[in-house]
Amino acid sequence: MRYEWLIGLRYLRSTRRAAVPSLISVISMGGVAVGVATLLVVLAVLGGFEGDLREKILGTKAHLRVTAPGEQPLPSPREVLDVLDRVPGVVGAAPFIESELLVSSPTNYSGMILRGIDLGRVRSTSDLEENLIRGQLDWLATPAAARELRDREPGESMDHGELQDRIRRLLDETAELEAEIEITRRMLDDEFGERDRDGDRLLDRLRAIDAREGDRGEQQGESPTSAFPLDLDEPAEVHPEDHGMPALPGAAEDHGMPALPRAMERDGADGPAGEAPGRPGARREAPGIIIGSQLREALRVDVGDLVNVVSPDGDMGPSGPVPRSRPFRVVGIFHSGLYEFDNRMAFVLFEEATRFLNLPEGEASGIEVRAAHLSAAPQVARAARSALQEAGVEEVQIRDWQELNETLFAALALEKVVMFLILSIIILVASFAIVCMLIVIVIEKSREIAVLRSMGASRAGVLRIFLVEGGVIGVAGTLAGMALGLGVVASLQVFGFPLDPEVFYIDRLPVALRTSEAVTVGLASVTISVLATLYPSVQAARLDPVAGLRYD
């Protein structure tokens, strides 16, 4: 066995006659190394994106989600919370309310997912407070602090270029608004002009009827004005107090507030015309809301500004359902790093969400649970399910983060497998060079092979010689590729590769390589290289010694 290794290694050395096979062997080794290094780097980048996405998702949502069967609301979440708090491995549990609504500002509107949270429990289940870039989480309970911050915060300082850019954007926006206002005015003119003509025709008919009734009254001895006591040419002045209605409050400017649409001018909604409960005449502060950074850009608002939340599930009016709306004050802006969350999510107090959505007292959409370790989520889910069954609460559904995001992470895993198969073709192409090199060596070394066979070397011995030669190229190329690939991954982890956050939503390229993946790449590379040597090795073993020495 020792002579087979020596001969195989000797054939790899460059000689004057064997310069071409030696060059091919170097090229083959380089191809294997490049393929292995590329595969390691790509898998590390895909793993980094998967880990970054998982961290951002679980930073906004917890590891487990407890709901009624069929994702129905929980009628008694407090009973479930008492049981979950005693389950081993549970770090925190918090109820939540979730609903898709519409939010608007004085300049724009957007769809959003409103989430009601328990301020005392949300810190143990979510990274919302750590993700805040402006405002504070506690301001959800004291929104007046955000309004005071807006009132006393000085304006941002801008250089001449920034000022010109902002003026240019404002002028463009003003031109667009003027065009929309002109179109709306023309539509209103057309609509109200038609209504005025209908009103004039109606007044003419009423006056004709009034004249006929007057003539008839005079004939019967009645007063000519008894039929219609109101003067149709003068609008009647209506006072709400005369009809048992509360007096309307003064204009928003009288209270030191900017003029807003009527729905947003009522800064509260519990008492008549926004009065605080139990305090007639006192205006109730709008409840607080925390929105994502992308939603803030869409609405063009900041901490302390008012936004109007609209729910389609409103009360029935004369012409059908009337959407329910209520002003909220922005008390915080968060940035999770996940575009879908930053563009759609908004958080309010649990009680405010219950009141606005007109839900039964104490009802929740579900309960979020955070486990001590991410990998322990399935075990904690089983323990929580058993504890709830022992407590008599069986009508619940518990799903872990893998089940909740099964489609997303399955797609990422499939993408990683596909990239592994595609990039393995680079190693396969390098193995073709190994085949070519060994075939050339077999043709060139046919006389030496014949001499070895005539001296007693077996076919299996000749086969092992060329297997050793191809295996050495594969192992050396694999080791060189792993060293190169791991070096690139380590440098990316230390120094990073900067990215444009406006385009990629992250500021650097994430990389994370698992040990199992690196080992799999190495074994696959060596296996492909060894398999590539089988055909030329078998051909060398079948060489007839007489044919190899015929012309010598």
Tell me the mean pLDDT in the region 77-86: 89
Q: Where are the domains of the chain?
A: 2-58+407-548, 69-143+286-395
Per DSSP, the chain holds a count of helices (H) and strands (E) of: 19, 12
Q: What is the pLDDT of residue 13?
A: 60
Question: Residues 224-237: pLDDT tens digits?
Answer: 444 444 444 444 44
User: Look-up: residue for tokens 């810190």?
Assistant: 123
Distance CA 384, CA 80 (A): 10
Question: Residues 339-357: pLDDT tens digits?
Answer: 888 999 999 999 999 999 8
Tokens of 17: 């006659």
Which of the four pLDDT bands, split at 50, 70 and 90, describes residue 4?
A: low
Global pTM exceeds 0.85: no
**Sequence letter at residue 40:** L
Nearest to 297 by CA among 330, 259, 260: 330
**Sequence letter at residue 171:** L
As a three-state string, the secondary structure of 100-146 is EEEEECCCCEEEEEEEEECCCCHHHCCCHHHHEEEECHHHHCCCHHH
Tell me the mean pLDDT in the region 381-397: 85
Q: What is the pLDDT of residue 222?
A: 47
